Amino acid sequence: MDSAPILLDINNGIAKLTFSRPQQLNSIDVSVATALEERVKELNQEKSVKVIVISGEGRCFGAGGSLSAFKSGSESTAKEIIDPMHRAVTMLTNMDAIVIASLHGSVAGGSLSLALACDLVIAAENTTFNLAYVKVAASCDVGGSWHLPRLIGLRRAFEFALLGQTLISKEALEIGLINRVVPNEELTKVTIDLAEQLAKGPTLAYAKLKRLFRKSFENTFEHQLALESEYFEASSKTADFAEAINSFFEKRAPQFIGR
């Protein structure tokens, strides 16, 4: 761990990416965006990482883009923030590791768009969600316009975005914006328990499922079937597949090794 705006800790196949600007509500300025890209680049090269957990220190996960940065910056500030954020989120969605967002407090703007890009999202009961871009007369970034309508549908996405609505965690769960809501004090434990469960699982199969689900929105049905056939055949040749079959007939828990 270090004093950078984005902290990175890797242990037993689980990487923890933590926004560490609690006094600024983990808002995203150029230094944060750049640091996130660099950290994600490190993870993209680290083959031992099976699960990535993204969280924020302090009162909230993240308040979105730093308004102070825009006020004191130049005309290029938006590009200097958005470009590295976009490169980071592209890597996160394309890498094999499963990415979990662990949310609490306010989640707004670019911080929400980043959370929506994660594969799984766990939120504490005190979490609130607001896309917030219209409050600063801006459209969205960090993939928010891609993920939001796919998660909750076009009509709901328009209403949520255009009216600047704030949702509480229960409402976000009901419309499919997130996966789970847990008591505030249990957020860290539940998140790590899930990360550990996934890290011990058939991670090669998880990676293939992640690719299949994300590609399904752009592929024809026939193309998707072809990919399913290709990926399943590849899975059937792995040590993990053989272990799963053997453990079933031997009536024991499988021990996966990611090969």
Q: Would the pLDDT of 2 be above 70?
A: no
CA distances from 58 to 21, 91, 110 (A): 8, 26, 18
Q: Would the pLDDT of 149 be above 60?
A: yes
Q: What average pLDDT is seen over the chain? A: 95
Residue type, 197: Q
User: From CA 208, how far away is CA 124, in angstroms rounded?
Assistant: 29
pLDDT at residue 192, rounded to an integer: 97
The Cβ-side half-sphere exposure at 95, using a 13 Å CA radius, reads 25
pLDDT at residue 167, rounded to an integer: 97
Looking at the structure, tell me whether residues 137 and 208 fall in a common domain.
no
Given pLDDT bands bounded at 50, 70 and 90, which one contains residue 11? very high
User: From CA 76, how far away is CA 70, in angstroms rounded?
Assistant: 9
Looking at the structure, tell me whether residues 106 and 185 fall in a common domain.
yes
User: From CA 165, how far away is CA 118, in angstroms rounded?
Assistant: 21
Q: Where are the beta strands (DSSP E) in the chain?
A: 6-11, 14-19, 51-56, 98-103, 106-108, 120-124, 128-130, 167-168, 180-182
- More confident: 1 or 22: 22
**What average pLDDT does the segment 166-182 reach?**
97
**What average pLDDT does the segment 67-92 reach?**
92
Decide if 94 is inside a domain: yes
Q: Would the pLDDT of 127 be above 90?
A: yes
Looking at the structure, tell me whether residues 104 and 221 fall in a common domain.
no
CATH number at residue 126: 3.90.226.10
pLDDT at residue 1, rounded to an integer: 40
Q: Strand 98-103 vs strand 120-124: parallel, antiparallel, or unpaired?
A: parallel
Q: Would the pLDDT of 224 be above 50?
A: yes
Looking at the structure, tell me whether residues 63 and 27 fall in a common domain.
yes
CATH number at residue 228: 1.10.12
Q: Would the pLDDT of 169 be above 60?
A: yes
**What average pLDDT does the segment 132-158 reach?**
94
pLDDT at residue 75, rounded to an integer: 84
Given pLDDT bands bounded at 50, 70 and 90, which one contains residue 73? confident
Count, residues in the chain: 259
pLDDT at residue 227, rounded to an integer: 96
**What average pLDDT does the segment 74-103 reach?**
95
Element (H, E) at 160: helix 154-162
Host domain of residue 154: 6-199
Looking at the structure, tell me whether residues 126 and 27 fall in a common domain.
yes
**What average pLDDT does the segment 138-163 reach?**
95
Q: For the chain, how many structural domains are there in total? A: 2
Looking at the structure, tell me whether residues 133 and 120 fall in a common domain.
yes
Using DSSP's 3-state secondary structure scheme, residue 61 falls into coil
User: From CA 17, how far away is CA 52, in angstroms rounded?
Assistant: 7
Could you tell me the two tokens for 213? 């689900």
The percentage of residues in the chain with a pLDDT greater than 70, rounded to a whole number, is 99
Looking at the structure, tell me whether residues 100 and 214 fall in a common domain.
no
pTM for this predicted structure: 0.94
pLDDT at residue 74, rounded to an integer: 82
Could you tell me the two tokens for 142? 């960090």
